[in-house]
Amino acid sequence: MKTSIATVSLGGDLRDKLEAIAKAGFDGVEIFENDFLIFDESPRQVGKMVRDLGMEITLFQPFRDFEGMPEPLRSRTFDRAERKFDVMQEMGTDLVLVCSNVSPASLGGLERAAADFHELGERAAKRGLRVGYEALAWGRHIHDHRDAWEIVRRADHPNIGLILDSFHTLSRKIDVNSIRSIPKEKIFIIQLADAPLIDMDLLFWSRHFRNMPGEGDLPLLDFMKAVAATGYDGYLSLEIFNDQFRGGSPTAIAVDGRRSLIYLGDQVKRQDPEGSLPVPAMPPRASVEGIAFVEFTVDEDEAPQLERLIASLGFRKVSRHKTKSVTVFRQGGINLVINTEQKGFAGASYAVHGTTAYAAGLMVDDAKAAVERAVALGAERFRQPLDAGEIEMPAVRGVGGGILYFLDPKTELARIWEIEFDPVEDTAAPEPVGLQSIDHIAQTMKYEELLTWLLFYTSILDAHKTPLVDIIDPSGIVRSQAIENADGSLRITMNGAENRNTLAGHFIAETFGSGIQHLAFKTQDIFSAAAALSANGFVTLAISPNYYDDLEARFGLDAEFAERLKANNILYDRDEHGEYFQLYSPTYGEGLFFEIVERRGYRGYGAANAIFRIAALRKHLRPAGVPRT
Ligand SMILES: O=C(O)c1ccc(O)c(O)c1
Ligand SMILES: [Mg+2]
């Protein structure tokens, strides 16, 4: 599968962009004219830079306001085209994009436009160049690829073809099946972009909100399936106008882009294995059975404090690593691993970020295959030297440089706790409080990173994203979106902080990066859990009494029930599927905390309660609100 991206998609100068694009593994690049115009090197030099990086120029674009011009504008337009043809020949590319005319001076009429394109085709052919016509969604006369195709068809010239851009077609909800009957040799290139569904002016939406396929809400897969049905096997080229992306790291955005294309190709191929699109083979998305463990890095001085907090949550120390300073705490199906090693990645991670949950292990159907897929999609494999007797656990780098491990039931990874660990007798064992599994892992990141990790998880794991919700923090907005699998055994919430004054923003600033900010454990009975926690000396996060007054009024709760919630600092929510109960620990250190939830059918994460618990959590930021028993 040949991949390309338009230079307009990234920030930096042309050299930075080209280097980032090559590094991410793209085969080609669209030179966006403005990126070239503001760059000081000659067209020849730019072409050489691209080829020296092992790529080719797939397209030069855009050429605007061409078709349907009355004289004398028409002649001027052809002169202008000849000048651009000169540049293209010097640069070494044969394809130019003409986008549909937006000029008020332009005249409509398919025949007139077709005649103009025929003449342009003649001129292009003399130089061995080709011209692709794209219908802008806001073109003055042509804003539908079906009309653009009709013009190309009538132009009837081998050097004139069509360019399809998913945004223009899908933003106008044009039936993609109309693509299937276009001869593949008349499709000169495919441009791809997704976008979040926002009701706004098409031009504004396109110029500011496009994102990578899979990051938005448009039916890109339907579009690509229709393209593939033509037999098209040429370049898939990203063209992403997005202010946030241009402000971000060109390297990171390029990696996301390439991942999005490979993943899209993979989806097309899985639906039509005999299709023409040459997609690299890779294992399917990993089916997740659950969260096998979460691992904390902490130093020896702080470890007792964290262990006391975990013990008060009803976790019992069950085993110690045979060769490393690593212990396992367990309750129900939850494994919390405490790593106080100074060497290796855990030690390095502690040195940079302090006490954090820096790694998580997912139980999947096939751990090796999961990593193979992740790496095929551009993830960075993680490995470190093993001690004698240790088994290799497949892993990749995840959010914030954390580690995502994979285990499976069919290899010795299933027995990792017996193979690498010795059982220990926990003399101060607390009473379990009925926590059964990890309901969700909550990761905090800068808002700019949210789409990156959303694509990372959804492309590697058999999971989907939920709609974006706004979490109201007293100091700003945190944008939250969850990754879930079908049976709810995997839930990861991702909270994108827009400023550092929010609780999430504070966490990122103080731990020097993104990562797991909290873990939510699931119980079947939150009231008995609350009682058992209290007996263990666990200090529950205190919620304002005013919250309960409001809650009673909002949901029409009976007074006695509301009083029970209040007495236990339990937050309550309801959706069309059922009820939700939450209680929290205070924050530990710079913002890490724990949550306990009971779901009675409820599907969300209690966004409506966030402002209340955030306000309460903030009070505990300093000093650490850890029970010191
Ligand atoms: O926003 C634009 O003007 C513009 C230009 C060229 C394109 O290929 C496109 O899709 C949009
Ligand atoms: Mg386009």
For 295, 301, 345, 361, 383, the CA distances from 350, given in Å and listed in that order, are: 12, 12, 8, 18, 18
- C-alpha of residue 213 to centroid of ligand 2, in Å: 14
The Cα–Cα gap between 480 and 494 comes to 6
What pLDDT, on a 0 to 100 scale, did the predictor assign at position 621?
67
pLDDT digits (tens, 9 = 90+) for 136-175: 999 999 999 999 999 999 999 999 999 999 999 999 999 9
CB of 97 closer than 6 angstroms to any ligand 1 atom:
yes
- 396 C-alpha vs ligand 1 centroid, how far in Å? 36
Query: Which are the contacts of 142, defined by CB distance < 8 A and separation ≥ 6?
Result: 67, 100, 101, 113, 135, 136, 148, 151
Task: Say how many Å lie between the CA of residue 153 and the centre of ligand 2.
Answer: 20
Reported as a pLDDT band with limits 50, 70 and 90, residue 500 is confident
Q: Tell me if 94 CB under 6 Å of ligand 1.
A: no
165 lines ligand 1 (CB under 6 A): yes
ipTM value for the complex: 0.99
Q: Please identify every residue whose CB atom is under 5 Å from ligand 2, which is an ion.
A: 165, 191, 239
Q: Is the CB of 99 under 6 A from ligand 1?
A: yes
CATH numbers and ranges of domains, the chain: 3-271 (3.20.20.150), 288-422 (3.10.180.10), 435-618 (3.10.180.10)
d(CA 378, CA 534): 46
Mutate to test the pocket of ligand 1, among 58, 59, 133, 136 (most ligand atoms within 8 A of CB): 136
Is the pLDDT assigned to residue 433 strictly greater than 80?
Answer: yes
Residue 30 beta carbon below 6 angstroms from any ligand 1 atom: no
Q: How far is the CA of 241 from the centre of ligand 1 (A)?
A: 9
- pLDDT(48) > 60: yes
What crossing angle do the helices spanning 43-52 and 14-23 adopt, rounded to 10°? 20
Contact of 288 with 489, CB cutoff 8 Å? yes
Q: What is the average pLDDT score of the chain? A: 95
366-418: per-residue pLDDT in tens? Answer: 999 999 999 999 999 999 999 999 999 999 999 888 999 999 999 999 999 99
Whether 628 shows a pLDDT value over 60: the answer reads: no
What's the gap in Å between 96 CA and the centre of ligand 2?
11
Question: d(Cα 498, Cα 493) in Å, to the nearest integer?
Answer: 16
When pLDDT is cut at 50, 70 and 90, the band that residue 626 belongs to is: very low
Ligand 1 neighbour 206 (Cβ under 6 A): yes
